[in-house]
Amino acid sequence: GESVGLHLPTLSVQEGDNSIINCAYSNSASDYFIWYKQESGKGPQFIIDIRSNMDKRQGQRVTVLLNKTVKHLSLQIAATQPGDSAVYFCAETANQGGKLIFGQGTELSVKP
Partner 1 sequence: NAGVTQTPKFQVLKTGQSMTLQCAQDMNHEYMSWYRQDPGMGLRLIHYSVGAGITDQGEVPNGYNVSRSTTEDFPLRLLSAAPSQTSVYFCASSMYPGQGKNIQYFGAGTRLSVL
DSSP state of 24: E
Residues binding partner 1: number (CB under 8 A): 27
Alpha-carbon distances, residue 41 vs 37, 85, 87 (angstroms):
12, 13, 11
Does 96 engage in binding with partner 1 (CB under 8 A)? yes
Stretch that binds partner 1, among 12-20, 42-50, 54-62, 78-86 (CB under 8 A): 42-50
Q: Is 97 in the site for partner 1 (CB under 8 A)?
A: yes
The site string for partner 1 over 43-62 (x = CB under 8 A, - otherwise) reads xxxx--x-x-----------
